[in-house]
Amino acid sequence: MAKESGKQQEQLMNDLMKLFDKINTEDFILEVERKPAIWDSRIEAYSNKIEKQNSWIDILKNSIPEFEEKPVGEQNVLGEFYTLNIEFCNVHKNSIII
């Protein structure tokens, strides 16, 4: 079971990397900057998980034009980006300066 989970995670990462190859990095950064709920711990929205998740969905919609046309399974893969971001922030929270 653990090997299947590892293979699934590996496939998920490969799928995400293929998508990120299509995203313009500068535009993506601008999209994130427009959503302070994701990065500005000084505002109330930062503590709101739903607002953060909605912000990431908006970013994905704006960064991947065909996002809403993708099957639900692929949208869920893209949604995993949100989870990866949370994990990244937790690991690097002491080194992130706002």
Radius of gyration of the chain (CA): 14
pTM reported for the whole predicted model: 0.60
Residue 78 placed within a domain: yes
Give the per-residue pLDDT at 4.
Answer: 52
Question: How confident is residue 35, by pLDDT bands cut at 50, 70 and 90?
Answer: very high
Give the per-residue pLDDT at 82.
Answer: 62
Question: How confident is residue 2, by pLDDT bands cut at 50, 70 and 90?
Answer: very low
Q: For tokens 């969905």, what's the residue?
A: 57
Residue 45 placed within a domain: yes
Cα gap 55→52, rounded to integer Å: 5
Give the per-residue pLDDT at 1.
Answer: 41
Residue 1 placed within a domain: no
Supply the range of the domain harboring residue 81: 11-92
Residues 37-95 have pLDDT tens digits of 988 999 999 999 899 888 988 888 888 777 777 666 665 666 666 666 666 666 656 65
Sign of CA dihedral 55, 56, 61, 67: negative
Residue 98 placed within a domain: no
Cα gap 20→14, rounded to integer Å: 10
